[in-house]
Every structure is written in C-alpha cells, then in structure tokens.
Amino acid sequence: MRPRRAGGGGQDDHTHQPDFGFSAVTPRSDAEFEAERIGSPSRARRVDLRRTLYSFRHAGRGFAWAFTSQANLRVHFVAAAVVMVSAVVLRFSVIELVALVLCFSIVIAAELFNTTLEVLIDYAWPERHPMIGRAKDVAAAAVLVAAVGTAVVGVLLFARHLFFHLS
C-alpha cells in the first residue's frame, strides 16, 4: 500500500493530475510573444500553427530556389530516384531502403548547406580572396565526402543483391 499524501486522499484519489506546464499556456499577442526571451519556458511551450506553417513555406521556397538554380542538387535527386527505383526492383529490405534514404538525405542536406554558404559568401564578399575560395572548397569537400559515403553504401548493398541475383 502506498503512503497517503499530506492533503488526504489515498490510492483512489484521482484529482491530482501531473501538470507538465501546459495549463499556464494562454493566448497572447505576437508582440507579447516576441518580447519574451527566446529560451524562456513559456515561449517554448507556445505552439503557434501559423508560425509553423510559415516556417514550412519559407523552407519550401528556399528548397525550390535551390532546386531550380543548382544543377548539382538536381543531379543528386536524379541519382537518388534511379537508385531507389533500382533498389525496389531488386527487392531491397526495408532497412536497406531506409539506409539509402538516409544517405541521400545527408547528401542533399550537405548540398543545401554548401549552397547556403556559397550564397552568403558571394553576397558578403563579392571580390575574390584566397580564404574565401578555401571556405567554398571545404564546403564542396563536405558534399563530396557525403556523396562518396553514399556511393560506398550503395555499391555494397547493390553488390550483395546483384551477386545473389546473378548466381
């Protein structure tokens, strides 16, 4: 038997429900929300669907711009589509498909970060400078590392399936 709480009531007392801090959430104006400190618990608890939808809209707009302006991003998407269709035809397991999706997601995210860095650098420093060139080269190298890692995973997975189907 559990000990009783100080306020009385025993095991059958269901009036005490844990409060995870959500009962204090009250609607406020955007100005009040913006005036709060960024890391404050009350600001973190506020879920604003409108702001969330705006975030998705901005992300979609950024992705659309990158997709239409960056040839390498389109190449990565075409490669991902070809590999995924081939993987489905060869009946890859769900885990293998998930591994491929994660690998391609990493490559595409790296390409988007590389594009972001290049756009910011080109805007901030339009003149040529050796250090700026190095920063861009390092960002491109990050994409290369992700792409090579993805290619290695793909080769290992496809080799296993092709060996099985050819033998």
Active-site choice (32, 34, 36, 111): 111
SS3 (DSSP) at 107: helix
Q: Which domains does the chain have, with CATH numbers?
A: 22-69 (no CATH), 70-166 (1.10.287.3610)
111 is catalytic: yes
User: For 91, left (φ over 0), alpha (ψ -120 to 50), or beta?
Assistant: left
**Alpha carbon distance 19, 32 (integer Å):** 24
pLDDT in tens, 49-75: 788 888 899 999 999 999 999 999 999
Residue 26's pLDDT band, with cuts at 50, 70 and 90, is low
Of 108, 77, 99, the closest CA to residue 161 belongs to 99
To which residue do tokens 């005490």 refer? 16
User: For 8, left (φ over 0), alpha (ψ -120 to 50), or beta?
Assistant: left
The full DSSP string for 60-86 is: HHHHHHHHHH-HHHHHHHHHHHHHHHH
Q: Helices 49-69 and 71-89 sit at what angle, rounded to 10 degrees?
A: 100
pLDDT in tens, 68-96: 999 999 999 999 999 999 999 999 999 99
Provide mean pLDDT across the span 151-165: 93
Residue 43's pLDDT band, with cuts at 50, 70 and 90, is low
> What is this structure's pTM?
0.69
Helices marked H in 7-129? 30-35, 41-45, 49-69, 71-89, 94-124
SS3 (DSSP) at 27: coil
pLDDT in tens, 107-140: 999 999 999 999 999 999 989 999 999 999 999 9
